[in-house]
Every structure is written in C-alpha cells, then in structure tokens.
Amino acid sequence: MKNLYLLFGFIIAVLVFSSCEEHDEYETNVSVDKISLNDSIKIRNFAFKNIENGLLCGGTKNTYGAIYLTSDAGRTWTKTYQSDSLSVNNLYYLSDSIVYACGDSLMILKSYDGGLNWSLINLDNLPFEEYRVPYHEIYANSEDNLFLVGGESFYKGIWSETETGNYPWTHDTYDNEMASMCFVNENIGFFGGYGLMLVTEDGGETFDYIDFENDFFIDMEADEHGNVYAVSDIGILYYSSDLGYNWSLLIDDYNAEFSDMYLGEETSVVCGWNGILYMKKGEDGKWLEIEDIPEVNYYCTYVNSRDEIFLGSDDGQIYILNKKRIQ
C-alpha cells in the first residue's frame, strides 16, 4: 500500500443551510419525460461522447449487468452487452471509438467501436482474493494508463492502476470502500471513499490523506477551472478551490441521500434517492432543490448541451427533465 500523508491545514468552512422544508425551489417549470428500457435494471451510469451518441450501464450486484447504446440523444436504447452474473457499474470514453467499462469482481471491459462490441480485459496479476471486489469507477489517461477504484461493505476497498494497458497492475487495498475519483489534470487526482479522500499530485505515485469520518464519497467531479466537488451520500456537497486544502459546504441536506453529480455547460445537478434533485444554473448560480418530480431512487444523472437532464432510476426507467418539451 502506498504511504499516506496527512494533509495539514485542512479546514472545512461550513456554510449553514436551512432545513429541507425551507429550501428554495427552482422557479422555472420543469417538464418530465419518461423512457423505459423494458429491463428492470438499476441504471448506474450515463456516458455520452456527443449529444446524439452515448451509453448507459447498470445491473444488480453479482446477479445481472448490461450496457445500452443510443444514437438519437437518449430517446431509444439498444442493448450491446449483457452479463448474467456481474453488474456493470461505470463507463468512460477515452475517444469516440475506445470506451471502457467496469463492474463486479474486478471486471474490466473495453470497446474499440464506440460501445457496439465489448471484450473482457483479463487482469494478469490480481490482489488477494478477499479484495476481488466490484470496481465502481474507471478512468483512462490513455490506453496504457488506467485507474480504477472499488470495494464493498464500507470497510473493504481497492485502488488499481496500470501504466502498460494490463500487466503489471498496482493494487492498493484499504480498510475503506473506495467509490469515486476525478482528475484535475494528468497528475492531480482525487479518490473518494468511505470516511476518507486520497489526493495525488504525481499521477498516483504518492498520496495525501484526508479523513472524513462520517462521509461516503460516492461521486467526485472537477471543473475546467480546477475546482473540485465531492458528493457525500449523507446529503452533503463539498467544494474546494485550492486542490483539497480547504473545503466548504455547498449543500447540506440531512434528509437527503445523494447518489451522483454532473457538471454541465450551463446546468449542474446532484441527484439522490426518493426523488432528490438539486440544480444550479451558471457558475455563480445557487443550488436549489427541485420538487414535483417523480419520487423514485435516482442512481445517476447527466446533462447535455441542450440542458436536458437525464436521471437513471433503479427500475430501468430514464427520466428526462428540460425546459422545452421533447419533440
């Protein structure tokens, strides 16, 4: 396991928010369209290479998994991969043609044709058997340099990297489930999990360690200015503008259970279970809670350049929210 160094000077500047009942609602009317996959899959991730062409994945742990493709901006979807035993948890476009996916039992998939066909990457060296856990997220700097994080049961986690495309792999194991990551650039990356955050400034050679005792970071995002957002499942959205040395709270909703975040060109959203959705318009906008949308469990979200908000549910339903009716 790589040496972990405690980040000194870590300060959480708490912005006090009112209770859920006092949150402002978004003032613009939001329309809702629903699309069914005819598959009761838990939709875990959206990934689009442009406004028309994209993928989604999902499944149930150690039971079933699938990947679907769209070429008409998410109006219709075609299944391009299925597993009868492993969930597919995350997707990453390296280019228009090369796409990666990851899932249960250290599963890694690769497509050379934009997601039409998939092949399994067999890891040539593995961690100890008790750490052959689900991968939750995958990121690629190149076909040679891949990063993955995963884990299960809160107290078992793994961080994996290769610089050759497969062999050898570096597998670091933790007593904390790892669930999310983001990169500011090729060298600076953040890795989130249960009760901790890891920060690297040298492409994963060494890490600084931040202790978040009560948080489980289920998503992390970085914007074009190098600002970093960390989503905790206990209804908190953290923000740092100085590479993780100081953090402030943008959302603190103790009644919410967050699951995902997306930073769009104009609209950014955070979603969660039981119909939870927060939206922000523009860089300087305020995070506002959206009401009067279906009260289902949203596992993932995506916002396209037309400001259409995609929400993936736990029963194969896709909800599309936008200001204009979909034609």
- Give the C-alpha separation, 287 to 235, whole Å: 13
How far apart are the C-alpha atoms of 133 and 8, rounded to whole Å? 32
Task: Give the C-alpha separation, 196 to 202, whole Å.
Answer: 19
How large is the average pLDDT for residues 306-320?
96
Q: Is 243 helix (H, G, I), strand (E, B) or coil?
A: coil
Establish how many alpha carbons lie within 13 A of residue 70's alpha carbon, considering only the half-sphere containing its beta carbon. Answer: 20
Tell me what pLDDT residue 30 has. 83
Model confidence at 24, pLDDT cuts 50, 70, 90, reads: low
Q: Is the dihedral of CA 100, 102, 108, 109 positive or negative?
A: negative
* pLDDT of the residue at 11: 36
Note the pLDDT of residue 13.
38
pLDDT value of residue 166? 85
pLDDT bucket at 285, cuts 50 / 70 / 90: very high
Strand order in the sheet with 298-303: 31-36, 317-322, 309-313, 298-303
Q: What global pTM score does this model have? A: 0.91
Q: Are strands 267-272 and 277-281 parallel, antiparallel or unpaired?
A: antiparallel
For residues 244-271, give the mean pLDDT. 96
| Per-residue confidence (pLDDT) for residue 45, from 0 to 100 | 98
With 70 as the cut, is the pLDDT of residue 224 above it?
yes
CA distances from 292 to 32, 62, 261, 280 (A): 10, 34, 20, 17
Separation of alpha carbons 36 and 198, rounded Å: 38
Tens of pLDDT, residues 30-66: 889 999 999 999 999 999 999 999 999 999 999 999 9
Residues of the chain with pLDDT > 70: what percent? 90
> What is residue 283's predicted lDDT score, i.e. its pLDDT?
87
Q: What is the pLDDT of residue 6?
A: 38
pLDDT at 105 exceeding the cut of 90: yes
- Percent of the chain residues past pLDDT 90, beyond the cut: 85
Give the CATH superfamily of 4-322.
Answer: YVTN repeat-like/Quinoprotein amine dehydrogenase (2.130.10.10)
**Domain layout of the chain by residue ranges:** 4-322
| CA atoms within 13 A of residue 15's CA, in its CB half-sphere | 15
Q: Is the pLDDT of residue 9 over 80?
A: no
Average pLDDT over residues 295-315: 96
pLDDT, the chain, mean: 90
Name the residue type at position 258.
Answer: F
What pLDDT score does 157 carry?
Answer: 97
pLDDT given for residue 324 in this prediction: 47
Phi/psi of residue 129, nearest 5 degrees:
-55, -35
Closest to 130 measured CA to CA, from 175, 194, 85, 192: 175
Residue range 123-164, pLDDT digits in tens: 989 999 999 999 999 999 999 999 999 999 999 999 999 999
Q: Distance (Å, rounded) from C-alpha 228 to C-alpha 272?
A: 19
